[in-house]
Amino acid sequence: MYQSDELFEKRTAVLATMHGKEQVIAPILEKELGIRVVVPPDFDTDRFGTFTGEIERAGTQIEAARLKAQWALELTDQSLAIASEGSFQPHPSCPFIASNLEIVLLLDTRHGIEIAGTALSIETNHSHQIVRSLEEAQEFARQAGFPKHGLIVSAGQRNNQGLSCKGIVSKVALSKAVQDVLAQSPTAFIRTDMRAMYNPTRMKVIAKATHDLATKVRSCCPHCGWPGFDITRRQIGLPCALCLAPTEMVLAVVYECKKCSYRTEQKYPDGEEFADPGRCMFCNP
Ligand SMILES: [Zn+2]
Ligand SMILES: [Zn+2]
């Protein structure tokens, strides 16, 4: 049997970040997994894509996190890396609500392990607006949780369009940035700065994803003890409580070990044996 403690304990992980994420990620991983976390100096993660659109992100969110982790390992000659990647999109099941999905990835090239913790939250201030006056900008700022949360003011929707000021966290800096842009153009583009160190709300979601990562690392295969024993398949078809027809709700989940391929099925993962008839295509067409 492997022991996840033995695999990770007392090892040093490089954290691929330059946005202060170590403040939340490092203490959680040190406490829960015994991993010491260090940040490589001068690590420029912006080459992998920025929220402000100067550089498009490469591939999917998890691919972007993996690239950052691999890059950190190359730079530092280590074998254990942590990387995080966030995205802001309409909520997958409720498109009128904004949501923030954070991934915190652990990559261990010594043992060939990759485990991703995730957290999806509808608590986000992610937003933007075109303003024509300082008052409008200040109203946007108030609703965006400024000055605890940073702002970006620019002339156009992308940062490479003329004047742009990032990481604004004071009223003086906000006035100056908005007035500078409005002196040159009839409108200014104002948006929330989603970089972690300027966004405590996002930091909380990153912390949640880090806890999820620790939980997944500690979820070990009952057969061989390998970490990251996780759901690989969801089987839909939970029967309707009224007519017993299969619905789109999850009936069972399958956990599978990435090391020895041991599988186990868990029925009724949400603790319910029947689906609400409201989810049934016959009872509620
Ligand atoms: Zn196993
Ligand atoms: Zn039904």
pLDDT in tens, 64-107: 999 999 999 998 989 999 999 999 999 888 888 989 999 999 99
**CA 257 to ligand 1 centroid distance, Å:** 5
**CA 285 to ligand 2 centroid distance, Å:** 9
Contact yes or no for 7/113 (Cβ under 8 A): yes
DSSP code for 246? B
Q: CA-CA distance, 60 to 172, in Å (whole number)? A: 38
Helices and strands: H and E segment counts in the chain:
6, 12
**CA 231 to ligand 2 centroid distance, Å:** 27
Does the pLDDT at position 208 exceed 70?
yes
Outline where DSSP puts E strands in the chain.
12-16, 36-38, 80-91, 94-108, 113-121, 128-131, 151-154, 164-168, 188-192, 230-236, 250-256, 263-267
Residue 239 sits at the vertex; the CA angle it makes with 235 and 245, to the nearest 5 degrees, is 110
**CA 116 to ligand 1 centroid distance, Å:** 18
Bond into 147 cis (ω within 30)? yes
Average pLDDT over residues 245-266: 95
> So what's the pLDDT on residue 52?
58
Average pLDDT over residues 252-257: 96
> So what's the pLDDT on residue 58?
67
Domains annotated on the chain, with CATH: 4-124+198-218 (3.90.950.10), 128-193 (3.30.1490.20), 231-279 (no CATH)
* Pairing mode of beta strands 12-16, 80-91: parallel
**CA 219 to ligand 1 centroid distance, Å:** 11
**CA 13 to ligand 2 centroid distance, Å:** 51
Q: What percentage of the chain exceeds 70 in pLDDT?
A: 92
> So what's the pLDDT on residue 163?
75
Q: Which residues surround ligand 2, an ion (CB under 5 A)?
A: 240, 242-243, 277, 280, 282-283
Instruction: Measure Cα distances from 15 to 4, 70, 73, 155 in Å.
Output: 19, 11, 9, 34
Ligand nearest to the CA of 223: 1
**CA 185 to ligand 1 centroid distance, Å:** 62
pLDDT level of residue 159 (50, 70, 90 thresholds): low
**CA 251 to ligand 2 centroid distance, Å:** 15
**CA 232 to ligand 2 centroid distance, Å:** 28
**CA 270 to ligand 2 centroid distance, Å:** 19
**CA 106 to ligand 1 centroid distance, Å:** 18
Say what the pTM is. Answer: 0.87
Contact yes or no for 20/76 (Cβ under 8 A): no
**CA 37 to ligand 1 centroid distance, Å:** 27
Ligand nearest to the CA of 228: 1
> So what's the pLDDT on residue 123?
94
> So what's the pLDDT on residue 154?
92
Does the pLDDT at position 148 exceed 90?
yes
Instruction: Measure Cα distances from 84 to 21, 74, 131 in Å.
Output: 8, 17, 32
Tens digit of each residue's pLDDT (9 = 90 or more) over 9-52: 789 999 998 778 999 999 999 999 999 999 987 777 666 666 55
Q: Which residues surround ligand 1, an ion (CB under 5 A)?
A: 221, 223-224, 226, 257, 259-260, 262
**CA 249 to ligand 2 centroid distance, Å:** 12
**CA 269 to ligand 2 centroid distance, Å:** 20
